[in-house]
Amino acid sequence: MGSQWTKDNIYRKSVREGYRARSAYKLIDINQRFNIIRKTDNVVDLGAAPGSWLQVLRTMTEGQLLGVDLNPIVPMENVITVTGDFTTPEIQEKIMEHMPLVNVVVCDAAPHLSGAKAYDQARIMALNEDALRFAEKLLKQGGNFVMKSFQGTDFNELLELVKERFYSVRVIRSTATRRGSTECYIVAKNFIGDADDDRKKSSE
Contact status, residue 138 vs residue 105, Cβ threshold 8 Å: yes
Question: Tell me, what DSSP letter sits at residue 63?
Answer: S
Residue 161: C-alpha distances to residues 125, 130, 131, 158 (Å):
12, 12, 12, 5
Per annotation, catalytic residue among 148, 189, 200, 201? 148
Alpha-helical segments (H) within 52-154? 52-60, 89-98, 117-138
108 assigned binding-site residue: yes
As a whole number of angstroms, the distance between CA 43 and CA 80 comes to 11
Any binding-site annotation on 51?
Answer: yes
Ligand-binding site membership of 198 (annotated) = no
94 catalytically annotated: no
53 is in an annotated binding site: yes
Report helix, strand or coil for 168.
strand
Q: Which three-class secondary structure state does DSSP give residue 61?
A: coil
Ligand-binding annotation for 45, yes or no, is no
Sign of CA dihedral 203, 196, 130, 181: negative
The annotation places the binding site for S-adenosyl-L-methionine at: 51, 53, 69, 85, 108
The annotation places the binding site at: 51, 53, 69, 85, 108
Catalytic residues, by residue number, are 148
